[in-house]
């Protein structure tokens, strides 16, 4: 049996728990260590998931010789620092999105990984799910005709809470960075598929942003992305407004509805795509079954790339990440 990839998890919040459950169900990974800001926090997390070692500091985990790769699950504003420190320690890095608060920050992280020769991936888990591969297959097959429009949304409604990171601008709060990055990445993925490329960057981004009067974070935002191949994408996000979190791909012959684009199934199960052809009112249901957990697919995609000697994961390369961050900057009004 091939040697499993030894993972260390940095931070112990909700997303770290989701990843830990995924690694426990992965084919190529094992949980070797976890780190928290306190020994008690790390020990509790380790006991919950059966992790052999618990570290009371992130530095201690990076010094652990049994850890080969780290999953960074800290708040957004700390991502770049710990990517840089992990890379300097020779650890391969899977970092939660967004990789940085701006493209300029993300460049620092990418350069650190390249300088130290480690694998780096921004953790867009939906990119590793077979549903995404099926969507690309449909787009490339021509069944939709010429794809000209993508609509995608990811938003939710939370009450204002000054203590919550969603409402803290310095911590990367607001919808654009936290979940708006998903529809942007999806649109760029489809734009690339049209041309047979892994992704494409828009030539123009025009956006509208509503900000909280006190916190200054974006509470509701929408943008239009224009691509050189003629595709137009309409994306939206929110932290104070309920949205229909779906994606639609429109072509000249048919259109595809993706009811659950971002979290297809956390555990094993089925997903459905709905293909509407011509004037047909009833869609063709495309059902996909998988016995894999969502976050296990991400962990195994990372492990497979590492085993193959790659320095990027095809599902989400560093160049793809930097292109995505450039769009988020333009949408949010960040100066280049």
Catalytic site positions: 97
Is the Cβ–Cβ distance between 129 and 294 less than 8 Å? yes
Backbone angles phi, psi at 235, to 5 degrees: -125, 150
Is the Cβ–Cβ distance between 124 and 234 less than 8 Å? no
Half-sphere exposure of 77 (CA within 13 A, CB side): 9
- Strand 92-96 and strand 69-72: pairing? parallel
Angle between helix 39-49 and helix 14-24 axes, rounded to 10 deg: 40
Written as six digits, the tokens of 79 are 């991502």
Tally Cβ neighbours within 10 Å of residue 245.
21
Annotate 159-174 with DSSP letters as a single string.
Answer: ---TTSGGG-GGGT-S
Written as six digits, the tokens of 105 are 């920050």
């Amino acid at each position: 049996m091939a040697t499993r990839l030894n993972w260390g998890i940095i931070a112990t919040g909700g997303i770290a728990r989701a990843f830990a459950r995924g690694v426990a169900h992965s084919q190529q990974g094992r949980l070797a260590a976890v780190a928290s800001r306190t020994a008690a926090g790390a020990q509790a997390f380790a006991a919950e998931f059966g992790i052999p070692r618990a570290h009371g500091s992130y530095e201690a985990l990076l010094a652990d010789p049994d850890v080969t790769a780290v999953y960074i699950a800290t708040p957004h504003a700390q991502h770049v620092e710990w990517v840089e420190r992990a890379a300097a320690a020779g650890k391969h890095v899977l970092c939660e999105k967004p990789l940085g608060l701006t493209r300029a920050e993300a460049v620092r992280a990418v350069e650190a990984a390249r300088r130290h020769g480690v694998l780096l991936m921004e953790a867009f888990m939906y990119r590793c799910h077979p549903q995404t591969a099926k969507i690309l297959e449909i787009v490339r097959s021509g069944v939709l005709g010429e794809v000209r429009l993508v609509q995608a949304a990811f938003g939710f409604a939370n009450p204002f809470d000054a203590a919550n990171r969603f409402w803290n601008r310095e911590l990367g709060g607001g919808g654009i960075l936290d979940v708006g990055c998903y529809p942007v990445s999806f649109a760029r993925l489809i734009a690339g598929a049209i041309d047979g490329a892994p992704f494409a960057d828009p030539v123009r981004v025009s956006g509208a942003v509503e900000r909280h009067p006190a916190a200054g974070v974006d509470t509701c935002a929408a943008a239009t992305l224009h691509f050189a191949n003629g595709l137009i994408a309409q994306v939206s996000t929110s932290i104070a407004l309920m949205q229909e979190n779906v994606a639609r791909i429109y072509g000249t012959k048919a259109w595809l509805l993706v009811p659950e684009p971002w979290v297809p199934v956390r555990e094993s199960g089925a997903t459905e795509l709905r293909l509407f052809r011509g004037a047909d009112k009833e869609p063709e249901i495309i059902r996909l079954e998988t016995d894999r957990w969502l976050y296990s697919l991400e962990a195994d995609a990372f492990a497979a790339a590492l085993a193959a000697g790659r320095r990027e994961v095809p599902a989400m390369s560093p160049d793809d990440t930097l292109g995505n961050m450039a769009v988020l900057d333009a949408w949010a009004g960040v100066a280049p």
